[in-house]
Amino acid sequence: MTITYCTGCNWLLRAGWMAQERLSTFGDEPGEVALNPGHGGVYEICPGSETIWERRRDGGFPDAAEIKWRLRDRMEPGRDLGHIDRGSK
What are the pLDDT tens digits along the chain (89 aa)? 999 999 999 999 999 999 999 998 887 777 899 999 999 999 999 998 999 999 999 999 999 999 999 999 988 888 888 878 776 45
pTM: 0.87
The arrangement of secondary structure in 2-84, i.e. its CATH architecture, is: 3-Layer(aba) Sandwich (3.40)
Identify the sign of the CA torsion 32, 33, 34, 39.
positive
Type of residue at 51:
T
What's the CA dihedral at 36, 38, 42, 46 to 10 degrees?
-20
Delimit the domains of the chain by residue range: 2-84
Residue in 71, 81, 70, 64 with CA at minimum distance from that of residue 14:
64
Q: In Å, how far are 9, 25, 34 from 18, measured between CA atoms?
A: 16, 11, 11
